[in-house]
Every structure is written in structure tokens, then in C-alpha cells.
Chain A
Amino acid sequence: MSLQHAEKEVNQEVEDLKIVNKETLTQKSFKSNTLDFLIEKMFFVFGSIAIFVLLLILFFLIREGSGAIREVGIMEFLTGTRWYPSSPQGAGYGALPFILGSLMVTTGALVIAIPWGIFTAIFIAEIAPRRVREILKPAVEVLAIFPSVVLGFIALVILSPIVANVFGLSNGLTALTASVILSVMALPTIISISEDSIKSVPKDYREAAYALGATRWETIKTITVPAAKSGIVAGVMLGFGRAVGETMTVLMAAGNAINMPITEFLGVTLPNFLTSVRTLTANIAIEGSDVPWGSLHYSSLFVIALILFVITFIVNLIADLLISRQRRKLTNE
């Protein structure tokens, strides 16, 4: 009882001190006070610029794309399979081939990059001796800064002939080629986010598992990785976002043919990875530089950009929620 009373008294004293401090410390000259006030407001403007820019991008995409949405309808963009935006008669604005192209190339890249990235992250965070780690981490950093156009160039001159040879194709620029090179682009994101997440699992978790007689691998498998799960999934989501938004590598590796990348196999429609595809990003890059400003074709490219923006926005939002959930979980427990 007396302890509580003492605590209350101390708290009250601290509060009093705070008030006194505030009063005495803010008694400065009027000039420096106003200057400080103005500077604070100026930095507030700088600080909120990210919100402003994000809204500005969304506003301009909608503003420029609204013409095509009104004229053609959003369903035509999402479900139509014919893309002939500049043909005078029988124009088509179906972006489905591009949506499928983007999804296929990205999925293919993730199928490769997820096991590759997660196992590498586990190795770096939990298994590798210090000296090996000191080679691996810079290597991942160099991969992360590799200009995408150089990766696209390598896909074009080295990877595509290999793909053509292996599968007996006349042209090696396919969805598969793009998937392989894109996996290298998504890899550093997945590795670094997963590694951070695994490292953030408190030491006690591991020590408790060791004390119960678990081996190092059993600890990784049943304790560390499950505890880091949200962060690892977030890394995969960000890798997906990076891959779906990537332009140069797919532009140079996927061949860019406008067709539905599907094939019939025993009556079932399947994606065809051995055919040339064009992604949402590649289509903007190809048609964006010489389209007449203000035309319906120009406007329809903004609808495609809007589709991309929405996809990456949702993916980033989910990754964000997962990372903050992981942080909360590990600090509360």
C-alpha cells in the first residue's frame, strides 16, 4: 500500500517537473520561436510529400485512363483477348493476354525463387559460419544492384539459345526464359527480407529448443522458421511485387508476342510456358514512347498502368501488414 502511494507521489513530481521544464525552456526570444515554428512546418511539408506523390500518381493514372475506361469499359480490358488499339476498324482493347503473361512469368519466377531464396536465407541466418556469411551477403547485395537491362541482355544472348536448344524451339524468347531470369531479380528481395525475419526471432526460442534436446535442424524446422513465417511470406510478397513490376528483363527475354499464352492438353486449358508472351509492363514500354498523346490508345496504356498499380499496391499492403504483425508478435511474447 505504501509502495503504491510512493509511486504515485513520484509520478506526480515528474509531471510537475515536466510542466516547469516546458514553461521555462520555451521562454526564448519571439524571433527564434517563430523561426523554429516555420521550420517545423516546412519539414512537415517535406515529410508528407510521400502521401502527396502517391495520390498524385493515382490521380494522373485515373485522369488519363478514364477516357478509355468510359469508352471501352473496364471489363473489356480485364477479359478481352484482342489487343488492336490503333486499328481504325475493329479496334480491340483486351489486356487479358498481358495479364496472363505477367502472371505466368511472375509465377514461374517465384516457383524458382521461393525455394532458392528461403533455403539461402536459412543458410545465411542460421547455418553458415561467419566467414561464409561474409562472402554470401555481399554477393546477394551485388545481385540486388544488377541493372535489369543487363540481366535482360544476358537472357537474350545466353539463356534464350539454351532454352531453344533444350526444347527444340525455333525461338528461345519464351515465358520460361523470362521466368528464369526474373527469378534472379526477385531473389535478393526474398533472401534479405526472409533473413531479417529469421534473425529477429529471439535467442531464447532457440535455446529453449536446444535445452529440450532438439538438434539444430529440428530447431530451425519447428521453431525458428515457423516463428519467422509472416516475415518470410512478406519477403515472398515483395519479391512478387518486384517481379510483376519488372520491365526490362521481361521486355528483352519474353519475346513480346501478343497472343493468349495457353494450350489445350487433353481438353484442359493450360498455360504454355514455351511460347512468347508480352507482359503488362513490356506493353507500356513498347507502345508508350510513340503513341500520340491524348489518343484512345494512349489512354488505354494508363488503364494497363492502373492495373499494375493496383496489383503492386495490394501486394505491398499485405507485405506491410505481415511484417508489422511479425514485429508485434515477437515483441509481445
Chain B
Amino acid sequence: MSKQLEQKLWFTICGAFAFFTIVALGLLLFSIIREGAHVISWSFITQPPQRNMTEGGVWPALVGTFYVASLTIIISVPVGIGAAIYLNEYATQGPLVRVIRMSIRNLAGVPSIVYGLFGLAIFASFLKIGVGLITAAITLAIMVLPWVITASEEALKSVPTSFREGGLALGATKWQTIRQLVLPSAIPGMATGSILGLARAAGETAPIILTGAAYFSRNLPTSLTDNFMALPYHLYILATQHAQASAVRPIAYGTALVLIMLVILLNMFAILLRNYYRKKNEVL
């Protein structure tokens, strides 16, 4: 076989696998949109499930997901930014920083269900908070922490060193320099990272099964220790736990589509934000 032919053959094989990736994504999206699009309407979004979930919409699950994801971000972002500031601004390379970075990468690899069981053991059982919104949110916050730290550190890294040198040269202390020069230019990047963390928290199911998601609740949660409905858990219930599986199938498709749209929209928003600020910085 000539070299050219061999190259053509292998390039085609690589291309076929890459093409198959697009096909897989297309099939996934298509199957959900085909069955789910006609289910979604304004009332599907704004109404609670009715008649044992065979009718009605996803409103309480949507609100529950919004609550738990927002709380997660409120808890994890300050801590994550703090950790990133230490790693990028204060820490000097050494064994301690290596161990910290190794821990962050390992935390990112811990299975989500293990976080759920950990949250159950420490917050619900040991600290006696019980299962509910706050327990689920703290558990998710710990789970997304590695992502928030990494994203915030990337944002800090993209701030030019000259900013810091300029501040220090003008006689500002290190903290003044960080607060008034470094952080303001890193905030867009950090916001992007936070929104990506929000999307991740919104789509996660396994930890909240153990820490407070409710099969069904008529009322929206009113306190931090209330149980809550959540979109991904709602989809799991509709798909596998409901007695009339075929009767709720259209609603399950609709729920899946709402969840995917939510996650993709959050990601698109984050990317647009990043691009907007990147362009703005280029002009400067």
C-alpha cells in the first residue's frame, strides 16, 4: 500500500470517529426534542404536577432546582475564589501547594454519590441538620468546589503581572493591589466559572437523592431545611419509579428537554459573557 493511500485510509478512520461523535450528540438531542418539544408550553413550565404527575407541569421542580443551585453557588463561590487567590497570589511553589493541587484534582474525581453519602453522614446525621435544601446545597457546593477553584484560578492567571507590579510600585500593599487591581479584572472570568458551576449543580442528581430531594411536594420550600423537588430527580422519578410509566412518558420527555435547555442556556450565557469581556479587554 502506498504511503498516500495509507494516510488517506487512516485520516478517514479518524474522521469517521469524529463524525460519529457529532452523530451521537445529534441523536441524543434529536430524540429528546422530537418527543419533548410538543409537551413544553407556558403552562408546563408554570404549573405543578397534577393527577399523580400524569398531567400538569414542572414548576416546583424548576423552582427547587433554582433554589438549590443558587444556594450551592452562594456557598461555593466565595470559598473557591478565596482558595484561588491563595494559590495564585500568595502561595509559593512547594510541597504544600503540590499537595493542595493534588487534593483539588482528587476531589474532582470523587464519585458524586460518595459526596451524597458524605453529606448525609456529616450534615444530616452528625450535625443533626436533617435532609433538606441546605444539606443538599452544602453537599453540592463541596462537590463543585474543585471546578470553581480551577475556573477562578484561570481568571486570576489571565490578569497581567504588570497590574500587580504597577500596584506595588505605587506603594499599595499586596491586599490593596489584589482587591483594587487584580480582582476587578478577574471578575468576568470568575463569573463565567460560577455560572458553569451553577449548570453543573443544576444537572446533578445522585447527591441530592440522599440529601433532601423530594419525590413530590405540593408546596415550594419555605425554609432551608425543607425538602424540595428538583428537575433531574423529577425526571428520574418519572422515568423509573412511577407506577404508570407509559402514562407519564411524555411529561418525562418534557422534563428532560427543560433540563437540557436550562443547562445548555446557562453554558451559552457563560461563554458569551467570557467572549464579551475578552473582546473588551482586547480593545483596552
Contacts and interface: CB of A to CB of B under 8 A. Distances in A.
Given A119-B17, A215-B7, A57 B118 contact: yes
Contact of B114 (A25, A35, A308): A308
B235 A150 contact: yes
B223 interface: no
B113 A123 contact: no
A210 interface: no
Contacts of B263: 145-147
Contact of B18 (A50, A136, A143): A136
Interface stretch (A7-15, A40-48, A87-95): A40-48
Interface stretch (A199-207, A237-245, A263-271): A237-245
Contacts of B6: 215, 217
Contacts of A64: 121
B25 A143 contact: yes
Contacts, number: 269
Interface in B57-103: 79, 82-83, 85-87, 89-91, 96, 99-100, 102-103
A136 B120 CA distance: 40
Q: Find the residue from A50, A220, A281, A293 having the highest chain B CB count within 10 A.
A: A50
B111 A317 contact: no
Q: Identify whether the interface residues of B are mostly helix, strand, loop, or mixed.
A: helix
B110 to A, nearest CB: 6
Given A215-B4, A247-B206, A288-B210, A187 B21 contact: yes
A80 interface: no
Contacts of B191: none
Given A123-B17, A157-B249, A285 B100 contact: no
Interface of B: 3-4, 6-7, 10-11, 13-15, 17-18, 20-22, 24-25, 28, 31-32, 79, 82-83, 85-87, 89-91, 96, 99-100, 102-118, 120-122, 124-126, 142, 145-146, 149, 168, 171, 173-176, 199-200, 203-206, 209-210, 232-233, 235-236, 239-240, 249, 252, 256, 259-260, 263-264, 267
Interface of A: 25, 28, 32-33, 35-36, 39-40, 42-51, 53-54, 56-57, 60-61, 63-64, 115-116, 119-120, 122-124, 127-128, 132, 135-136, 139-143, 145-154, 156-158, 184, 187, 191, 215-218, 220-221, 238, 241-242, 244-248, 251-252, 281, 284-285, 288-289, 293-294, 301-302, 305, 308-309, 312-313, 315-317, 320
Give 7 closest A-B pairs by Cβ, nearest first.
A245-B111, A47-B86, A46-B82, A147-B203, A217-B7, A119-B17, A247-B206
